[in-house]
Amino acid sequence: MEQIISRCGNVCSECPWSRYMRKKINKEDWEEYSEQVKKYTGYKPIKYEWEGCVGCLTPNEELPKHPFYNFLKKCRTRKCGTYNEVKNCAYCGRFPCANTVASNNFTKEKVSDKIGSEIDDKTFESYIKMFDSMTNLKKIHSDLHDDQIKNPKPVSKKTDIVELKGEFKNENYHKTYKKLIEIANSNLSIKGIDTVSGYENYLIRKDILWRLLWIFGLYGKLSKNELSIDSATLYENRKPISLPSNEEHWKLYINILAEFGINTKLEIKTDKLYTPGGYMRVKVPQTNKPTYIIEMKANPKLQKYQFFKALNEILSELKSKVGKRAFTNFKKLNFNSILS
Ligand code: SF4
Ligand code: SF4
């Protein structure tokens, strides 16, 4: 059969989650096959009984109704490729862009390093190569002529900031609000925000950052110009977002906060920080102790108007005034209910 390449460079027609592989592998061989996939990729393909994924090139309206496909529908690379009408990222003038989910985590060398022994060609072809997306895309890209490559159609950033219809009760609140406006108007360090994948990435980052500011402001322990919060408190109040899942991911938000004068540190409290799947735990196993603490210090400019204290007071007041709508209002910087 002809090879089917996904938007991000995976080989759909050889993917263990696809219906193509369920036709190729017999039911009795499935368990052993799926264990091998898990050994090299870290994930076990779902049961043989499921008919399998129809592939990410299938348009949304033709996808079967199954929760599995929510992941496909939300994928920013798939959305970007569809919007720009390119077969996959290799055909795009921005390739390789910072926002595609294509990665080079599944090269032969990287997987060999991870499992601690050299992988032979046959094993690589059978269980890994279909996910070596960046290498797959680079190969396609190098064979294309210039006239086959298309620039993405630009998209513009939208703002949902609500206009204020009154005055804050003091100057410190007003200056804190100005700082929040500055954060809301920034690109949050996203490169290529004018592409669908960049903009989608920005929206995810914005949702996480705004929830973190909400939790820090309302539930953080305040001491003068410093604020700290533990992993368990963060976890309890995280919804509707998922917390950064590893140190690298936290670093992203730490760097963004630093740009706005909030110097942040991740203090690890245990040597049992990670689950076997590679996610950060929020509590030390068999205890109630947090696994990490986020510590923040306002820079001298922010200290002048007691940023953390003002944030805490604004958010507390907002919460008492509008209850469950408070977080949604905060995200839009809609403080009208607490203005005079
Ligand atoms: S990660 Fe996105 S682009 Fe890649 S195969 Fe999955 S749905 Fe398609
Ligand atoms: S902008 Fe990025 S994600 Fe979108 S099609 Fe181009 S390379 Fe792919």
Residue 66 DSSP one-character state = -
Average pLDDT score, the chain: 96
5 lines ligand 1 (CB under 6 A): no
Task: Give pLDDT tens digits for 64-117.
Answer: 999 999 999 999 999 999 999 999 999 999 999 999 999 999 999 999 999 999
Q: Which protein residue's CA is at the shortest distance from atom 4 of ligand 2? A: 80
- The whole-number pLDDT of residue 88 equals 97
Strand arrangement, sheet containing 292-298: 221-223, 226-230, 292-298, 262-268
Residue among 179, 231, 183, 238 at smallest CA distance from 211:
238
Distance 74 CA to ligand 1 centre (A): 9
The per-residue pLDDT for 86 is 97
Tell me which ligand sits closest to the C-alpha of residue 57: 1
Tell whether ligand 1 has an atom less than 6 A from the beta carbon of residue 6.
yes
Distance CA 172, CA 301 (A): 12
Kindly give the distance from the C-alpha atom of residue 18 to the centroid of ligand 2, in angstroms, as a whole number.
23
Residue 1: the pLDDT is 79
CB 293 within 8 A of CB 229: yes
pLDDT tens digit string along 169-215?
A: 999 999 999 999 999 999 999 999 999 999 999 999 999 999 999 99
Q: Is 94 in the pocket of ligand 2 (CB under 6 A)?
A: yes
Q: Looking at ligand 1, which residue's alpha carbon is closest to its atom 8?
A: 56
What band does 48 get if pLDDT is binned at 50, 70 and 90?
Answer: confident
Cα 225 from Cα 303, distance rounded (Å): 6
Rg (alpha carbons) of the chain, rounded to whole number: 24
Question: What type of residue is 45?
Answer: P
pTM of the complete model = 0.92
The first and second tokens of residue 249, run together, are: 């991911």
Distance 186 CA to ligand 2 centre (A): 22
What's the 332 CA to ligand 1 centre distance in angstroms? 31
Q: How confident is the model at residue 47 (pLDDT cuts 50, 70, 90)?
A: confident
Q: Which amino acid belongs to residue 69?
A: Y
Select from 338, 340, 334, 336 the least CA-distant residue to 184: 334
Q: Check pocket membership of 45 for ligand 2, CB cut-off 6 A.
A: no
Q: Which two tokens stand for residue 50?
A: 């499921």
pLDDT tens by residue, 204-214: 999 999 999 99
Q: Is 253 exposed, middle or buried (0-12, 13-18, 19+ CB in 10 A)?
A: buried
